[in-house]
Amino acid sequence: MQDQDFARIGVRLFTEGLVGGNFGNMSRREGDGFVITGTGAYLDEPGDLIFAALEGPAPTGASSEYRVHQAVYCLSSHRAIVHAHPPHAVAASLVLDRVIPRDSEGEMLCPAIPVVGGAPGTQELADSVAAALGEGHLAIARGHGTFAAGKNLEEAYLYTSLAEHACRVIAYSGFFGGCNC
């Protein structure tokens, strides 16, 4: 199964520099499970999506991060998830325990972005991201990337873009003599 929304959002993620190479993944609730991009897929050319159930192992070919998506859908009412690797957000997560946006969109929409732990592909990561997204739209897995969720792919993409923008603004403010912490 292919889907225009996945490609459209993937192109935006790529164009904004929120993901590079074939890293990152996206999913959307579908029936009693969800569809997710395949392992190694380019998000801007996602190709065939894989259907996965809300529990148990995912079919061969699904993104290796399917556990995070399962856990988020089980613990929240979100309908779509975008996982990306925005470089400023990843860098911030190495240093900070949570990101406090200083730009006005960040202050309004996600006044504190939690940084969570757990290695890629593990249940620990799935649990910590799901706990964070049960209460909000956005989390940064330390050293790894953003997980953003919402009512559709568009909303999940917007929170991803918001996170990187907030981290850029914090970082760049130091270039003008401001406190970047």
Residues of the shown chain interacting with a second copy in the complex, contacts defined by CB under 8 A:
14-17, 20-23, 85, 87-88, 90-92, 94-96, 102-105, 107-108, 119-120, 141, 143-145, 154, 157-158, 161-162, 164-165, 167-178, 180-181
- Closer residue to a second copy in complex, CB, 32/176: 176
Ramachandran quadrant class, 140 (left: phi over 0; alpha: psi -120 to 50; beta: rest):
beta
- Closer residue to a second copy in complex, CB, 7/53: 7
Q: CA triplet 153, 17, 10: central angle to 5 degrees?
A: 30
- Rounded to whole angstroms, how far apart are CA atoms 5 and 80? 11
| Residues in the chain, total | 181
CB of 53 to a second copy, least distance (A): 26
CB of 48 to a second copy, least distance (A): 17
3-class SS shares of the chain: helix, strand, coil, % to 5: 40, 20, 40
Measured torsion, CA atoms of residues 145, 149, 154, 160, in degrees rounded to the nearest 10 = -30
Q: Which helix (H) or strand (E) holds 138?
A: strand 138-141
- Closer residue to a second copy in complex, CB, 14/34: 14
- Closer residue to a second copy in complex, CB, 16/30: 16
CB of 119 to a second copy, least distance (A): 7
CB of 111 to a second copy, least distance (A): 13
